[in-house]
Structure 1
Amino acid sequence: MSDIALEVSHLTKNFRLHSEKTNSIKQLIAARGRNRFAEFTALDDVSFTVHEGEVFGVIGQNGSGKSTLLKCMAGILQPNSGWVKVHKRMSALLELGAGFHPELSGRDNIFLNAAILGMGRREIAARFDEIVEFSGLESFIDAPVKTYSSGMYVRLAFAVAINVDPRLLIVDEILAVGDVTFQQRCLEKFVEFRNDGRTIVLVTHDLGSVKNMCDRAIWLTHGKITGEGDPSDLVEAYTEMMLGNRNRDVDGRVRRGSGELQISSVELFVGDNPEPVKRFRTSDSIRLRLNYQATKPVPKPIFGFEIQSLGGATVTAPCTRDVGLIPEMVSGEGHIDIEMDSVGLLPGTYDIHTTVTDFNRQHEYDNVHLALRFDVMSGKPYETGALVTMRPQWTIS
């Protein structure tokens, strides 16, 4: 981890935003050669290093400079000042189908794109079958890529990018386009790369992936680094900033939503004990109670909750619509009980977040971040090192 794979030093990138665009020489002469524009700073004195073997995350709102940063790192854009040094063989997967020629077949584009990424023809030919197999496009490899869907573009581009044997892989948000099976393949490949000691720079809005996969991260705001360090801490701060219209109460809960229907409190019960608790043991049966209050009648609300580990990994996130429990109207005060038998959570600290939405899950009446924090103690079966037990039955023969 002491070797540096990538250095970014005092990187600044400006763009011109033209207020009046000239479309002819006549217009340019009439304007006396002046073309009015404003300077927009996409990156402002950004500096950081990425060590070999790290998975490094970049988070931030849309327009914060994430993609501009990656393009500078990949050499697609040249900064106005500062510099980027890449010390390892790099492969960048930034834009959908970047480097592909729409008139060429998938086969020809593999050779073209891999050559752009630095591979020789013999090396490409040796890995061609592996690239096609990973992409899953065997039946379409000789068709022009202009006939491909967006998902097929991504699969082919990713298959080429990871098979140039990079020691440094730069990946933008485009993996969200793939289907569930492809995303799982990508995740497995990332884990394989990480275990192999390769370096990954990942830009994503999937904050769970940042917390679960990244060793370090930076947070960009308007082209500047707002924070750098532990991904869980950064994601927590970023989430609170992004909640908008939030109100923090004395218990540390953060709430947003229109407010007609709210979760007033969350209680946790173990077995038949009528007293609420904040801890239980693995395999205990529990009951979760969501107490609500409505300031006016609300039609067909959907109640949901999410259990997350302290590190941010989501364990479960069910809602009442999943089981068809949809009241025609809710008013006043009441509660919803959720029974969970022999809970398989392993020892650790967990958070519960709650949501109340309309039937289409589009309008939020209430969203409470950190509605309840609880601890799980050792029980049966005794396991460590994960979040949930699958209660395995072992035999040796």
Structure 2
Amino acid sequence: MQTEDVPEEAPREAAISVRDVTKKFRLHNDRKTNVKEMFSSRERRNRSEDFWALKGVTLDIPRGRTFGLIGHNGSGKSTLLKLVAGIHRPSSGSITAHGRVSAMLELGAGFHPEMSGRDNIYLNGSILGMTRKQIDAAMDEIIAFSGLEEFIDTPVKVYSSGMYVRLGFAIAVNLEPEILIIDEVIAVGDEAFQRRCFDHLYELRRKGVTIVLVTHSLALVADLCDEAAWLDGGTLKRVGPAREVVDDYLSAVNEREAAADDAEAAATGQTDVVVTDDDEFEGRTPRRGSGEIRVTGIQFLDQDGVERKFLSTGRPCTVRISYQATEDLPDVTFGLAFVHESGVQAAGPNSGYGPDTFVVPAGTGAVDYTVDSLPLQPGEFLLSVAAVDKGHMYDYIDRAFVLKVRAEDVVTEPGLVRMPGRWRQHTAAAPAIEQ
């Protein structure tokens, strides 16, 4: 990491200043598969190409804030963290950190496999510039936080990946960091340890520690981070308030997925899912019913009536059920079942009975199920479809169609569905002041 003076345009309150940083890696493609290739003059020629992991990135990470880095795999997030931590040097540009940097990156990074957990605490502490007295003072707290009392004097080469994470995180957060850098590895820990981690991060935030983290959990970024940066193919796309950056990133991901689905549909010539009387679905209940009416397909429409390959949480949408009837039917109820990929049925709406049933004439047609705000959370759902007359089944197809639900803004509520509602606070009235 370079330590030259901060450029004038960098604000003095910045904990980390990144200026026009590029990082180039050379990819070698000359892997040998046999001894003959190793000694062949033709095969010995070096085949390599340059890969630019970062391309002119400039940003400032404010002191005392929690800052998230988001983007797809290979976008340059982890590379930028390693540059800030001093593991790599930029190919050009400068990175300046104002404060002691403590990093929790790859599993086992900074550990000597033959040394015990205790000795590795001393090793990591000395790398961070701590004195032995300072490390001794923090030793008991580090060991207790990691929960590895039984194994602390065992060589770390026998540790599991979860034990590596627990010890590495305990060291990183308990040796008085001024700037804490965390990669996705925290997700390896168990549920109880993750809770301890987030509780400790909360305390560090209150103490004014600058925290920079990379994670694929957009809800975590929106909930924990003050600001965020979005990297795409090594290029900085946006920096700003965390929720706004996450929303922009989600919109871009949805557009890419929709474009890819449209291109695939155009290449295959398939624009809708159509089933026939003889269709049965592997591993699922086969089609049932007397057959006077048959469901022939399903379409997913957005608020403008445009067919989509996926629907968006919280947005208006329509599920259109196409059918074919062989005769006039006076009382038909259509029903849907939304079964989450986990196997849990999230909802099962139907069109109603009695006066709410549909009169279906012979021929083809469609019925629409429309919602003003889709309550389903992001994920994949299998749809079952039924057409019935009270207890009589005309047609039933079990989990025959796939509905992809995506988010256009950050989702911070757990569960399969969003529950609309209003929150209101009630506080005790202040006591009257006697005159």
Give the TM-score, by structure 2 length. 0.63
Task: Go from structure 1 to structure 2 and tell me whether the alpha carbon gap of 1:2 and 1:107 turns closer, same or farther (over 3 Å shift).
Answer: same
Equivalent positions of 1:143-292 (< 5 A) are: 143-243=154-254, 244-245=257-258, 249-250=302-303, 256-257=309-310, 292=319
- Matched with 2:403 is 365
2:124 is aligned with 1:113: yes
Matched position secondary structure for 1:78: coil
Distance, in Å, in 1 between the alignment partners of 2:406 and 2:108 is: 40
Matched position secondary structure for 1:156: helix
Task: Go from structure 1 to structure 2 and tell me whether the alpha carbon gap of 1:91 and 1:364 turns closer, same or farther (over 3 Å shift).
Answer: farther
Equivalent positions of 1:284-303 (< 5 A) are: 292-294=319-321, 301-303=338-340
2:61 is aligned with 1:53: no
Task: Go from structure 1 to structure 2 and tell me whether the alpha carbon gap of 1:335 and 1:255 turns closer, same or farther (over 3 Å shift).
Answer: closer
1:18 Cα deviation from its structure 2 partner: 1.8
Matched position secondary structure for 1:10: strand
Letter matched to residue 26 of structure 2: R
Distance, in Å, in 1 between the alignment partners of 2:305 and 2:199 is: 36
2:23 is aligned with 1:13: yes
Letter matched to residue 140 of structure 1: F
- Matched with 1:282 is none
Cα deviation, 1:218-241, whole Å, max 9, x if unaligned, reads: 100010001111211111111122
Equivalent positions of 1:56-95 (< 5 A) are: 56-95=67-106
1:294 Cα deviation from its structure 2 partner: 4.7
1:204 Cα deviation from its structure 2 partner: 0.7
Letter matched to residue 244 of structure 2: D
Distance, in Å, in 1 between the alignment partners of 2:81 and 2:193 is: 23
Q: What percent identity do the matched residue pairs reach?
A: 41
**8 Å Cα contact 1:106/1:144 also seen in 2:** yes
Cα deviation, 1:22-80, whole Å, max 9, x if unaligned, reads: 799x9689359852211110000011111211111110000001111111111111111
Which of residues 125, 147, 152 in structure 2 aligns to 1:136?
147
Letter matched to residue 302 of structure 1: V
Aligned-CA RMSD value: 4.2
Matched length: 324
Distance, in Å, in 2 between the alignment partners of 1:322 and 1:221 is: 36
Letter matched to residue 232 of structure 1: R
**8 Å Cα contact 1:255/1:368 also seen in 2:** no
Distance, in Å, in 1 between the alignment partners of 2:249 and 2:301 is: 15
Q: Structure 1: which 5+ residue stretches go unaligned?
A: 267-289, 305-318, 338-349, 384-391, 393-397
Distance, in Å, in 2 between the alignment partners of 1:207 and 1:184 is: 18
**8 Å Cα contact 2:313/2:407 also seen in 1:** no
1:19 Cα deviation from its structure 2 partner: 2.6
Distance, in Å, in 2 between the alignment partners of 1:87 and 1:182 is: 30
Task: Go from structure 1 to structure 2 and tell me whether the alpha carbon gap of 1:93 and 1:370 turns closer, same or farther (over 3 Å shift).
Answer: closer
Cα deviation, 1:185-209, whole Å, max 9, x if unaligned, reads: 1111111111111101111111011
Distance, in Å, in 2 between the alignment partners of 1:208 and 1:20 is: 41
1:256 Cα deviation from its structure 2 partner: 4.1
State the structure with more CA Rg: 2
